């Protein structure tokens, strides 16, 4: 129901400038994911959008109206806090039902139904009567999510909502959130995550933040395939993109050459040779770290569980059409 | 008093637990010793005196009289039974009623006003420090002074309260606040509430300050109206602090002495149990009776406290690992 | 910044400050009146005025010339400070045991401590008098410090126990893992987190000790050991029935000012959010 | 020896005491410390009782109110032998009030008796004379009050006294009763005499004053409140102790030079006469004094004629030695003492000697009954009847 | 320096049994990772090992000595808490130095050096003077890690230490932890994580917990390749292993057939046909979800960014040698 526009938003805590002028438009019904290094200002930006934190300068618009001064409750948002912020004196049920009870016109049964539905979805049905302090970390996090989704807001703000969940649950919850979003076309979602998979799969668009500024906004594929800067290239994708400089880059007529681990082919006639210094075996894939005279070792992703003993040499080539070339300033050459 | 270290659960206790229990014992012992010396002997003695015929002129020659000071009876020749003793004394029951009434109203008002003041002080505004100091002034003025000061201010002829009331049109004629039986209690209540609201406010304020801030943010997001936030979040979370503040206030109110002693020492409508007991202990030659009254007051307070803790579900547990 | 001028917000601000004003006026007015009175003398005392008409510091001069008032002030400072320090020391440690260590009879113990506060003060006077004479501290400041624990200790123990219960368990556990003993936990981890409670109980207990009259009167018999409330009661007019209002008020003002200063200094510690950022949950 | 004396005396009184003690020290070689006490007599009394009960040996000599000595008789030394030589010099009634079961428990240091303060200017203005009976006082007060109010002096009242429920009311009411021929509550032989018609009539009359010639608030007045009203010029008559005399003539007093004192009015029944309750202070020696000889010496010194004379001159305290009222030095320094001689002759002691340790309770019962009557809770007759029964209970077989 | 042995350890909170009899041996110098669904008891087990929580029954041995009763500090452990548990009133520096200061014999300079080294490693050097509340979630987490590693314990206990870090930092910190472990051969590490990559790359052995019991312990590859139960098979590996029942399983002579997404090949002559219901594009891989009449859709991992429109049909085959066959009881048939 709400489109959100940020115009040159700044935020400082005392002398510390945290958000340094962000312009951003989140479209109505869009699923926007914020990513960026720890401490870059994601949570702060989310809190500014929620209205919990005062904006130092700039304008925040919801549906075209300035909301700088609007209280959080008037903005029609639901939020999952990075620190959970559960009500310590309420049971899980009460925590989740609290917002609903206060809205007028919700019958007791309707509330119970909604809470239980959310609890089922998050697999915390059996903990409804417990207090937060009697829960495990992941359970607390689920309560925090549950509290947000039982309500019916125009905007959802999620701050790393799945960070403490196990892989299976994380996938399940991720899918539930995606469904939630699909089911409610009007609802705008803003989602902070460090998980590449979450970002790539959930986002309509991803906003990469760096040090209080927007680095690039785009669909996941755009960011993956056409990063606007070395920073974005390095940040999106796991394992991190390999960057090569010096001779090897010059051969491709650029200052820095970026090649993702998955775009490296091990070939006997590979153009680069490296020494295996470390192998990581993930079951489905193996990451091989090659020493190639670069600042950091070069990662090559191989399918399946491979054994390349440390110290052995390997020749690799980048897929020519998947390399990323960057100039001195870190901007892509296309 | 209570065994500390000996309380062990059946299973083996880890050294951490033992270390803590040992520390706990070392931490509790000095306090218990201090309390036992300072309070143990005087308390036992007072209670003992209540079962004797002690007078202040002859404390050490007191003889045991059992429950006589509490209640004794005498069958007259006509066959009617005459009850004597504190429990049969209408003055005592009048004092009980005065005390309870006083305690109820004063604590009620102090709690409400204290909460309001605490909420105001909890807000961030310029000059908060000064206001906090100002608030505490009533509590800081010695009771003997403030009681007399108020006696003066409430005077019908040259008291400023009457003057103000008349000037503002609230009173049509000067009221002799402390003199008339109808207003004496009100006067005492006004002074007490004025004096002790800061106590309440400060304790509640401390409670408010300990509440984590982030759940208010969650509540803001949940769209909880500030009033609802107060009742559903603030109140439950300051409850422990509030409960303790109330307990101590009620205890003090039930034992109220100096204020009434100075303000309306001999008015029947304000005479409280402590005042009555003081009279018997030191002014009249009824030391035993005064001790009896003190002991009864102690019992009454104890019953009240137990009820309060039980009904208020004051939690002794929690917080431990 | 704000595009529209928010009238509601303004009204709220105005109302809020009005409330602050009311609270301050009600609290301070009698004190103000005391100051007013302390500047008066003679028959003027019986006249109602709202502003100082004539200012004379005679009463203040008198306060310091009669008896040993400065000495009494020092006594009060000493007695109240030591009482509070002692009570806080005993209470902080005891409340750690009572709030954080599970042992049987804890509830009972708390009740016993509370029971001490249930006896009317006048009733313990005689017994306390005997104990104090027995200990040989009669007519010394220690008699008062000792006697005051009877009301400061239960209060501080209960309040601090309540507050300590609410501190996050995780932080204590982190300290345990760091190798902190209970003593270190109390002094270096908990106390800084309990400033609001410590300062509040400290202030309240300090003022209670500062203002105590009955014990002070009974357990000291010389001007050199007496405290301020007794000294105030000793201030007298020219003759038996005459109450020296002006001087009493002047003395009250004199003894209240240090307390206000004390509050001003310490209230800074009554800040919120001390535990913020420590744990999540 | 090192002696210590407690005193609830006030500022200048203490200074005076000190100066006398200095003399005593110089004369005898003893040293004396003064332990000042708050001026509230109830506080003092409670304190002294506690100290004495606990056998406190830190205090040797006590300054006591007239009504205390009998109550604390057990713990004070008998001074009759030691003071046999001087006893005859004092007013017999005062010595009597300090004698319990033949034991002289305290020596009188000075005495006190109230008077009727009246406004000479107002009486003159309205052509009235000083009232000699309560009835006269009533009408005079009423007339002047109404006339003055009509002239716009809306604050004026006819008569102020001490109506609060406390020892002062016992004094006031004893005067009403006694002056009306109603006895002295408990007679010297211990009989309870209060329940009689004359006493009831006297108290009923006083009840009639409240709200008419006296403000409602008088029910909460003690000495200072009455003096406050008086000194602002807002009362025609006042019953008060001598201390108000000097203060009323202070520079800032509205009634300076406009008032005088007279004996309190008399009643109108049989045996009616002016009566003034006996106040005053005495010195007693603690039984627990480590050095009783020296302590007695000090007590005698403080009660001696020369100290009393100095006291009368410097402190305007009334001596307990009749001859001093004729002493020229005294009269020069405190000419008003002339007035008080007449008043003092009418003085009645409160029944502290016969009721002994129960005096305070007797007094409390009495003032409560009177206060009830004044506040309109029952008539005097009803309240006195109950009072009699209560006193009888308290007395038991004997006081 | 310490080998840790758990013998039939149980723990209950009141009536709730949380740990239901765990036997486990962690070898000296081993890097043991605990994984398991949220709420299964990982944190509790860690706390039992640390000595913070009393053991309800069973025996805990460090180096062969029963330590049931030993205090945490005497066990020589350092711990990173899931909820950070920072000292709110201390600056970052003080937080990290606190434990060191309490140990006797550490000079001021030595402490500063160690703290600064850890801070540099965790990239929090510039925050040393801040209070925890002035930090972002990830920064707090790093402080918590820093606090543990400045000390010099025999056993490290990490409870999801990287969950709030961004991918790059996570990899970096993970590598630091691995280095730490390599550098100190004596130090035993127990590490709780939900991250498959962390588990697979860091662990010497992984312990899979389920509902208070140990389900399987083994090297990452053992678990990946030879899971002892359906549960472990489903839990290890991302995306989750596909389970097929009914006819399709019977064809492989088992009750349940498990095939990982990466072991499915899209072939025109695939033995199974499914309808594409959803595609997730992660850049390097694409997950295609196929509806095949099973309880849950079957995931197939394809390399690179592929487009398979929803609704289109796809034929797939499992790699015959990589299928996992389970009997009725969920046990593997080998
Ligand atoms: N104080 C308590 N009282 C009752 N149950 C508790 C208490 N503490 C934890 N539990 C329960 O014990 C179980 C195990 O908790 P634990 O914290 O060990 O889980 P976990 O494996 O760490 O989960 P997560 O991955 O979510 O952190 C959970 O189901 C939790 O609800
Ligand atoms: N109260 C504060 N005072 C000073 N600096 C602050 C305060 N709160 C946050 N910061 C700083 O602001 C920056 C942004 O914080 P924020 O919480 O938005 O980061 P984030 O992007 O959410 O990081 P993370 O992924 O670690 O949660 C951080 O560097 C943090 O240290
Ligand atoms: Mg964050
Ligand atoms: Mg956990």
Q: Note the pLDDT tens digit of each residue in A67-119.
A: 888 888 888 899 999 888 899 889 999 999 998 888 878 889 999 999 999 99
DSSP bridge pairs for E302? E286
Tell whether B290 is within 8 A of chain C (Cβ).
Answer: yes
Taking the CA of residue D233 and the nearest CA in chain B, the distance in Å comes to 12
> Rounded to whole angstroms, how far apart are CA atoms E244 and E258?
6
Q: What is the pLDDT of residue E295?
A: 85
Q: Is the CB of A82 under 6 A from ligand 2?
A: yes
Report helix angle C195-211 to B128-140, nearest 10: 30
Report the pLDDT value the prediction gives residue C213, as an integer from 0 to 100: 87
CATH class of A240-326: mainly beta
Average pLDDT (B166-172) is 83
Q: Is the CB of E43 under 6 A from ligand 1?
A: yes
| Distance of CA E171 from the midpoint of ligand 1 (Å) | 28
Are the C-beta atoms of A155 and A77 separated by less than 8 Å? yes
Mean pLDDT of C94-110: 87
Percent of chain E residues past pLDDT 70, beyond the cut:
100
Contacts of B300 (CB under 8 A, 6+ apart): B96, B254, B273
**Listed range (A167-171, C1-5, D264-268) with the worst mean pLDDT:** C1-5
Residues whose CB falls within 8 Å of the CB of residue D382, separated by 6 or more in sequence, listed in order: none
The residues of chain E that CATH labels 3.40.50.300 are 4-233
Tell me, yes or no, if B125 comes closer than 8 A to chain C by beta carbon.
yes
Cβ of E39 below 6 Å from ligand 1: yes
**Pocket flag, ligand 1, residue A95 (CB < 6 Å):** no
Residue A34 — very low, low, confident or very high, per pLDDT cuts 50/70/90? very high
Burial class (CB in 10 A: 0-12, 13-18, 19+), C222: middle
Q: Which residue has the tokens 């491709």?
A: A252
**CA-CA distance, E250 to D228, in Å (whole number)?**
111
For the stretch B289-305, pLDDT in tens is 888 999 999 998 999 88
Looking at residue D85, what is its pLDDT?
87
Nearest to B214 among A71, A85, A102 (CB): A85
Q: Can you tell me the mean pLDDT for D193-211?
A: 91
Summarize pLDDT for B94-153 with one digit per residue, the tens.
999 999 999 999 999 999 999 999 999 988 888 888 888 888 888 888 888 888 888 888
pLDDT of A1 reads: 53
Going by alpha carbons, the residue nearest to atom 25 of ligand 2 is A38
Question: What is the per-residue pLDDT for C85?
Answer: 94
User: Which residue out of A41, A158, A209, A235 has the highest number of ligand 2 atoms within 8 Å of its CB and is therefore the one to mutate?
Assistant: A41
- Does residue D118 register a pLDDT over 90? yes
Range of the domain at B262: 90-147+181-283
C237 pLDDT tier (thresholds 50, 70, 90) = low
**Residue A85 is nearest to which of B217, B225, B236, comparing CB atoms?**
B217
Å from CA of B299 to ligand 1 middle: 45
Q: B236 in contact with C at a CB cutoff of 8 Å? A: no
Interface test with B, best of A84, A89, A151 (most B CBs within 10 A): A89
For E4-233, CATH number out of 3.40.640.10, 3.30.70.1350, 3.20.20.70, 3.40.50.300 equals: 3.40.50.300
The stretch C47-73 carries a mean pLDDT of 80
Mean pLDDT score across all residues of chain A:
89
D148 has a pLDDT exceeding 80:
yes
Q: Tell me the CA–centroid distance for residue A212 and ligand 3, in Å.
A: 12
Chain B residues touching D225 at Cβ < 8 A: 155, 157
Chain B residues touching C19 at Cβ < 8 A: 116, 120
Q: Is the CB of A126 under 6 A from ligand 1?
A: no
* Predicted pLDDT at B314: 67
Interface E:C, ≥3 CB–CB pairs < 8 Å: yes
CA atoms within 13 A on the CB side of E213: 4
CB-nearest partner of C19 from B43, B120, B210: B120
- The rounded distance, in Å, linking the Cα atoms of D327 and D309 is 8
Record the tokens describing residue A128, joined without a space: 């409804």
Query: According to CATH, where is 2.40.50.140 located in chain A?
Result: 240-326
Structure confidence by residue, pLDDT tens digits, D245-283: 878 888 878 888 889 888 899 888 778 888 889 888 899
Q: How far is C8 from chain B (nearest CA, A)?
A: 15
Q: What's the average model confidence in pLDDT over A291-300?
A: 88
- Give C150-198 pLDDT, tens digit per residue: 889 999 999 999 999 888 888 999 998 888 888 999 999 999 999 989 9
B124 lies in a domain?
Answer: yes
* Residues B198, B110: Cα–Cα separation, whole Å: 8
Q: Output the average pLDDT for chain B.
A: 84
The answer to whether the bond into D324 is cis (omega within 30° of 0) is no
Which ranges constitute the DSSP H helices of chain C? 7-38, 58-65, 69-100, 106-116, 121-135, 141-165, 169-177, 182-184, 191-193, 195-211, 214-219, 228-234, 245-266
Q: Grade residue B7 by pLDDT with cuts at 50, 70 and 90.
A: very low
Closest CA to C8 of A99, A74, A2, A77: A74
Cis peptide bond upstream of A239, omega within 30:
yes
* Predicted local confidence at residue E119, as pLDDT: 93
Residue E35 has pLDDT above 70, yes or no: yes
Of E128, E139, E140, E169, which is best to mutate to test ligand 2, by the most ligand atoms within 8 angstroms of its C-beta?
E139
Give the bridge partners for D336, in sequence order: none
Out of B182-191, B287-296, C4-13, which region has the weakest mean confidence (pLDDT)? C4-13
Cα angle value D337/D341/D345 (rounded, 5°)? 155
- At B245 the three-state DSSP class reads helix
How many domains does the structure of chain B reveal?
1
| pLDDT at C240 (0 to 100) | 61
Tens-place pLDDT, residues D41-71:
888 888 888 888 888 888 899 999 888 888 8
- Identify which of E163, E167, E261 has the shortest CB distance to residue A238: E167
From CA A210, how far away is CA A40, in angstroms rounded? 5
User: Which are the contacts of A230, defined by CB distance < 8 A and separation ≥ 6?
Assistant: A243, A256, A258, A326, A330
CATH of domain C67-277: 1.10.3720.10
Confidence at residue C22, expressed as pLDDT on a 0 to 100 scale: 92
Domain parsing of chain C, residue ranges = 2-56, 67-277
ipTM of the complex: 0.88
Q: Is E146 within 8 Å of E96 (Cβ atoms)?
A: yes
DSSP D249: T
Report the pLDDT value the prediction gives residue C232, as an integer from 0 to 100. Answer: 83
- Residues A174 and A157: their CA atoms lie apart, in Å, by 14
How large a percentage of chain E has pLDDT more than 90? 45
């Amino acid at each position: 129901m709400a489109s959100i526009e940020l115009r040159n938003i700044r935020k400082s805590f005392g002398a510390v400038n945290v958000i340094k002028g962000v312009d951003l438009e989140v479209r109505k019904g869009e699923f926007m994911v914020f990513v960026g290094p720890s401490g870059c200002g994601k949570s702060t930006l989310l809190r500014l959008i929620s209205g919990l934190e005062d904006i130092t300068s700039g304008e925040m618009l919801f549906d075209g109206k300035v909301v700088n001064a609007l209280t959080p409750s008037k903005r029609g948002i639901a939020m999952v806090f990075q620190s959970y912020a559960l009500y310590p004196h309420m049971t899980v049920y009460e925590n989740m039902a609290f917002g609903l009870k206060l809205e007028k016109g919700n019958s007791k049964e309707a509330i119970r139904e909604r809470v239980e539905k959310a609890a089922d979805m998050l697999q915390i049905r059996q903990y409804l009567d417990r207090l937060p302090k009697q829960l495990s970390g992941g359970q607390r996090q689920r309560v925090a999510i549950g509290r947000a989704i039982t309500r019916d807001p125009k905007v959802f703000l999620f701050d790393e909502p799945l960070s403490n969940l196990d892989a299976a649950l994380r996938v399940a919850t991720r899918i539930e959130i995606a469904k939630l979003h699909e089911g409610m076309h009007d609802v705008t979602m803003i989602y902070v995550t460090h998980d590449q998979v979450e970002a790539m799969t959930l986002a309509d668009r991803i906003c990469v933040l760096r040090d209080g500024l927007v680095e690039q906004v785009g669909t996941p594929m755009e960011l993956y395939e056409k990063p606007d800067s070395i920073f974005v290239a390095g940040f999106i994708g796991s394992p991190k993109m390999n960057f090569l400089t010096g001779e090897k880059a010059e051969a491709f007529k650029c200052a820095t050459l970026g090649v993702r681990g998955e775009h490296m082919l091990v070939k006997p006639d590979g153009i680069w040779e490296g020494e295996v210094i470390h192998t990581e075996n993930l079951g489905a894939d193996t990451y091989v770290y090659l020493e190639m005279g670069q600042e950091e070792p070069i990662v090559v992703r191989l399918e399946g569980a491979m054994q390349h003993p440390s110290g052995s040499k390997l020749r690799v080539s980048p897929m020519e059409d998947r390399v990323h070339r960057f100039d001195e300033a870190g901007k892509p050459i296309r | 008093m209570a065994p500390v270290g000996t309380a062990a659960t059946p299973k083996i206790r880890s050294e951490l637990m033992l270390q803590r229990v040992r520390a706990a014992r070392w931490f509790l012992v000095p306090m218990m010793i201090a309390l036992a010396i300072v309070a143990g002997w005087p308390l036992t003695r007072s209670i003992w005196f209540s079962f004797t015929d002690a007078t202040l002129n002859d404390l050490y020659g007191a003889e045991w009289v059992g429950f006589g000071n509490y209640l004794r009876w005498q069958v007259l020749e006509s066959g009617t039974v005459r009850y004597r003793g504190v429990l049969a004394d209408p003055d005592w029951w009048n004092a009980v009623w005065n005390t309870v009434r006083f305690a109820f109203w004063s604590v009620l008002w102090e709690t409400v006003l204290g909460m309001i003041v605490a909420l105001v002080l909890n807000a961030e505004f310029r000059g908060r420090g000064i206001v906090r100091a100002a608030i505490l002034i009533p509590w800081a003025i010695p009771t003997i002074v403030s009681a007399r000061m108020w006696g003066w201010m409430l005077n019908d002829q040259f008291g400023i309260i009457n003057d103000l009331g008349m000037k503002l049109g609230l009173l049509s004629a000067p009221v002799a606040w402390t003199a008339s039986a109808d207003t004496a209690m009100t006067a005492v209540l006004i002074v007490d509430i004025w004096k002790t609201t800061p106590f309440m406010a400060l304790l509640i304020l401390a409670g408010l300050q300990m509440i984590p801030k982030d759940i208010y943010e969650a509540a803001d997001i949940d769209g909880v109206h500030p009033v609802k936030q107060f009742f559903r979040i603030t109140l439950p979370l300051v409850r422990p602090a509030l409960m303790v503040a109330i307990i101590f206030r009620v205890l003090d109110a039930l034992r109220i002495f100096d204020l009434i002693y100075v303000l309306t020492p001999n008015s029947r409508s304000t005479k409280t149990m402590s005042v009555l007991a003081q009279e018997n202990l030191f002014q009249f030659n009824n030391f035993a009776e005064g001790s009896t009254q003190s002991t009864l007051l102690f019992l009454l307070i104890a019953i009240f406290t137990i009820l309060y803790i039980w009904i208020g579900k004051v939690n002794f547990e929690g917080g431990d690992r | 910044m704000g595009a529209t001028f928010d009238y509601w917000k303004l009204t709220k601000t105005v109302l809020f400050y009005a409330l602050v004003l009311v609270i301050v006026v009600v609290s301070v007015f009698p004190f103000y009146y005391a100051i007013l009175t302390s500047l008066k003398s003679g028959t003027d005392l019986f006249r109602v005025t709202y502003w100082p008409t004539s200012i004379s510091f005679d009463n203040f001069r008198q306060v310091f010339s009669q008896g040993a008032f400065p000495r009494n002030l020092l006594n009060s400072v000493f007695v109240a400070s030591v009482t509070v320090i002692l009570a806080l020391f005993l209470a902080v440690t005891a409340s750690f045991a009572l709030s954080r260590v599970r042992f049987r009879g804890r509830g009972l113990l708390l009740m016993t401590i509370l029971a001490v506060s249930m006896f009317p003060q006048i009733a313990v006077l005689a017994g306390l008098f005997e104990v104090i004479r027995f200990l040989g501290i009669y007519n010394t400041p220690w008699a008062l410090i000792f006697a005051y624990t009877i009301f400061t200790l239960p209060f501080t123990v209960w309040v601090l126990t309540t507050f300590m219960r609410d501190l996050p368990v995780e932080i204590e556990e982190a300290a345990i893992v760091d190798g902190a003993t209970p003593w270190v936990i109390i002094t270096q981890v908990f106390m800084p987190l309990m400033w609001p409670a410590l300062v509040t109980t400290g202030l309240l207990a300090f003022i209670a000790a500062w203002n105590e009259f009955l014990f002070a009167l009974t357990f000291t018999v010389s001007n050199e050991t007496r405290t301020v409330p007794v000294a105030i009661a000793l201030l007298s007019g020219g003759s038996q029935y005459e109450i020296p209002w002006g001087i009493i008020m002047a003395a009250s003002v004199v003894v209240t000012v240090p307390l206000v200063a004390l509050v001003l200094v310490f209230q800074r510690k009554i800040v919120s959010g001390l535990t913020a950022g420590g744990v999540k949950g | 020896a090192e002696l210590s004396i407690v005193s609830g005396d006030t500022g200048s009184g203490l200074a005076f005491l000190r100066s006398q003690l200095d003399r005593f020290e110089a004369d005898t070689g003893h040293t004396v410390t003064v332990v000042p006490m708050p001026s509230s007599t109830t506080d003092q009394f409670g304190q002294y009782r506690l100290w004495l009960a606990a056998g406190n040996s830190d205090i040797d000599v006590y300054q006591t109110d007239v009504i205390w000595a009998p109550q604390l008789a057990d713990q004070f030394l008998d001074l009759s032998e030691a003071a046999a030589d001087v006893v005859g010099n004092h007013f017999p009634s005062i010595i009597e009030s300090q004698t319990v079961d033949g034991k002289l428990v305290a020596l009188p240091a000075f005495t006190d008796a109230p008077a009727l303060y009246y406004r000479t200017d107002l009486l003159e203005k309205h052509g009235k004379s000083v009232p000699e009976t309560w009835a006269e006082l009533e009408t005079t007060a009423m007339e002047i009050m109404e006339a003055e109010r009509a002239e716009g002096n809306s604050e004026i009242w006819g008569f102020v006294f001490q109506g609060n429920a406390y020892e002062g009311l016992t004094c006031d009411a004893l005067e009403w009763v006694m002056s009306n021929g109603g006895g002295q509550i408990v007679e010297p032989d211990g009989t309870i005499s209060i329940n009689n018609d004359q006493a009831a009539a006297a108290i009923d009359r006083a009840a009639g004053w409240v709200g008419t010639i006296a403000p409602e608030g008088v029910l909460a007045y003690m000495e200072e409140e009455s003096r406050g009203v008086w000194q602002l010029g807002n009362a025609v008559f006042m019953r008060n102790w001598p201390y108000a005399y000097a203060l009323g003539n202070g520079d800032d007093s509205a009634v300076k030079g406009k008032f005088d004192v007279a004996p309190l009015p008399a009643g109108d029944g049989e045996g009616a006469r002016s009566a003034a309750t006996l106040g005053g202070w005495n010195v007693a020696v603690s039984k627990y004094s480590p050095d009783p000889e020296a302590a007695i010496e000090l007590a005698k010194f403080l009660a001696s004629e020369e100290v009393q004379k100095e006291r009368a001159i410097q402190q305007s305290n009334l001596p307990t030695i009749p001859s001093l009222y004729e002493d020229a030095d005294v009269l020069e320094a405190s000419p008003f003492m002339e007035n008080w001689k007449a008043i003092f002759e009418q003085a009645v002691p409160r029944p502290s000697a016969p009721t002994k340790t129960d005096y305070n309770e007797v007094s409390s019962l009495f003032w409560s009954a009177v206060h009830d009557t004044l506040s309109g809770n029952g008539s005097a007759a009803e309240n006195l009847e109950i009072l009699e029964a209560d006193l009888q209970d308290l007395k038991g077989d004997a006081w």
